[in-house]
A = this chain, B = another copy of it.
Amino acid sequence: MSTFKNALPASNDILTRDPLPASHKTYISGEIHPEIKVPMRAITLTNDEIVTVYDTSGPYTDPNIEIDVAQGIPAIRKDWIANRGDVEAYEGRIIDPKDNGYKNRTQMETAIAGASSLMRQPIKAKPGHNVTQLHYARQGIVTPEMEFIAIRENQRRDMTRRYLNDPEREARLKGENFGANLLEDITPEFVRKEVAEGRAVIPANVNHPESEPMIIGRNFLVKVNANIGNSATTSSIGEEVEKMVWATRWGADTVMDLSTGQNIHTTRDWILRNAPVPIGTVPIYQALEKVNGVAEDLTWEIFRDTLIEQAEQGVDYFTIHAGVLLRYVPMTAKRVTGIVSRGGSIMAKWCIAHHKENFLYTHFEDICEILKQYDVSFSLGDGLRPGSVADANDEAQISELKTLGELTQIAWKHDVQVIIEGPGHVPMHMIKENMDKQLEYCHEAPFYTLGPLTTDIAPGYDHITSGIGAAMIGWFGTAMLCYVTPKEHLGLPNRDDVKEGLITYKLAAHAADIAKGHPGARSRDDALSQARFEFRWEDQFNLGLDPEKARAFHDETLPRDSAKVAHFCSMCGPKFCSMKISQEVRDYADKQGLSTEDAVNKGMEEMSQTFKNQGSEVYVNVEDITKTGS
């Protein structure tokens, strides 16, 4: 069969590079490391105020940076890594046709012709060295990555504090953080300490210098991961690169490439060389491809080779299902939905077929030895996560979680960074138990959860069934939320689904930050609400997570430009608008040089008389905008 179509490389034309509306990129330099430039998105409001927000979109939204996807984006970390003096370039592993799903080299080379421009010579730790951020942190070293993150997490608090200036309000809205330690100002040293103690992870493979450093930990902003990847049935390299860029545009803090099928090695090269965010993978998927989908044919050697292959390409974190132990498999037999994790089921099948312990578990220290040479982080997979609410928090799930906790300590012994994956499908009342047990069993290693979905009855809306659970578990302490798209359970997400899933998860993560009481988080809400109250429609759109949709929705009923400054919207129409009325009440009080409270308390009859004389009907001079009642 022809596979050339699949191998079509990405074209620059398909990338969306326009900055978001009213936005421009700004960079803040470091103090310890003056060479670092931390990107933020500055939104300019119609009243000339500027609101800066966290920006995951990398160089794509900076019109001053030229990008050619066939060359890759700038390698901003290249010098930082080299300057540490502990890595060396080496002759990497030779690509095997099987890496891309081909039987022979000619077949592969024909297929990926024109798509191989992004291969790089790999680097790894010099003998005897360990190049993980955890290792540096434990040595007391504040890396450029750490300072970058400190600046990035603070999101210019000098500017956000402007909105959070009412002591009564701040006291009333004080968050419930469930033991998280949320600093008023994140320092590079705090980042170091959190990494050193395993409570936070900086996914940062030395072979992925294009990545802008970010941190995953419950004492930082809640992050969101987006999964992309072709399945055997669909899509091309170009589409996957575009999806990755698209995902970062809408807020993906990390992206997992879950591609299966042909050309996955080359697709991964293209994604990594163009990715401004850490990239995660599930190496067992590719290993299984190499043995033609026959789970029992998997071996440690094949898996190990795949780890090295992907580590050399620059993958920042690996999902490893090392907690699926032979003795746990039977615990799933009575479940409503058995094992639903792909990796989990592959390993379960392997264990049963060989009647042996999971080789990912028995070779766990061998894996650590590889990962620390590249600084690939573990994402310990929950292969036994529940696939229905009926299976939530059962023996299989909890047993595996305990094992992941044991493995965490082994990884930490090697200074390898660890995050822990979590469910799945969990009804609301059982979500907190997941978080509490994870913190206890896994020694506060960051939790990285899929959803959880709080009901099974809404296929087509599982971004929402899971967004509910995600917001809650984010509040309770999950450090990163793996998004779910509307296509979950039904098909592969397209571009629109990726965006819908991301916005849902960004709002869930933000709701979690607010509930935790993350300093500065609420400032964007307050800025947007002020704009809403003052009928600054443009600002309301532009401060939102999806300015395009907000504007389009508004324009469906009131398309004319004059409506953008109108003191009403189509919901109530011009005849009465509550926002307008309450603003009049306040304005009136101001005009008298009195607070509204004074006006009432002093019982000034003449005040109400003046108000009457001014005319207390609601402003209706809007005939140029819309026709309305007589």
Contact = CB atoms under 8 A, between A and B. Distances in A.
A172 B393 contact: yes
A460 interface: yes
Contacts of A422: none
Interface string A465-490: 10110011001000000000011011
Interface residues of A, number: 162
A94 interface: no
A305 interface: no
Contact of A578 (B340, B428, B605): B340
Given A233-B557, A234-B570, A585 B512 contact: no
A541 interface: yes
A339 B512 contact: no
A443 interface: no
Contact of A620 (B293, B326, B463): B293
Given A232-B573, A338-B583, A329 B629 contact: no
Contacts of A601: 330
Contact of A460 (B472, B533, B546): B546
Interface in A323-358: 326-327, 329-334, 336-342, 344-346, 348-349, 352-355
B558 A525 contact: no
Given A578-B341, A595-B330, A460 B549 contact: yes
A560 to B, nearest CB: 12
Interface string A308-329: 0000000000000000001101
Contact of A262 (B394, B515, B585, B629): B629
B550 A459 contact: yes
Contacts of A588: 352
Contact of A515 (B294, B427, B626): B427
B428 A471 contact: yes
Interface stretch (A85-93, A202-210, A450-458): A450-458
Contact of A574 (B232, B540, B597): B232
Contacts of A456: 525-526, 528-529, 532
B329 A585 contact: yes
Contacts of A234: 557, 570
B338 A533 contact: yes
Interface in A602-618: 603-605, 607-608, 611-612, 616-618
Given A616-B296, A630-B103, A428 B288 contact: no
What's the number of copies of this chain in the assembled complex?
A: 2
A390 to B, nearest CB: 5
Contacts of A491: 553-554, 556-558, 569-571
A353 B616 contact: yes
Given A557-B492, A584-B349, A337 B533 contact: yes
Nearest to A386: B529
Contacts of A508: 464, 468
Contacts of A345: 576, 578-579, 581-582, 585
B605 A355 contact: yes
Nearest to A488: B571
A292 interface: yes
A328 to B, nearest CB: 9
A626 to B, nearest CB: 5
B427 A339 contact: no
Contact of A353 (B427, B458, B608): B608
Contacts of A288: 576
Contacts of A574: 232-233
A418 interface: no
A158 to B, nearest CB: 20
A15 interface: no
Interface string A501-535: 00110111011101111000010111011101100
B428 A512 contact: yes
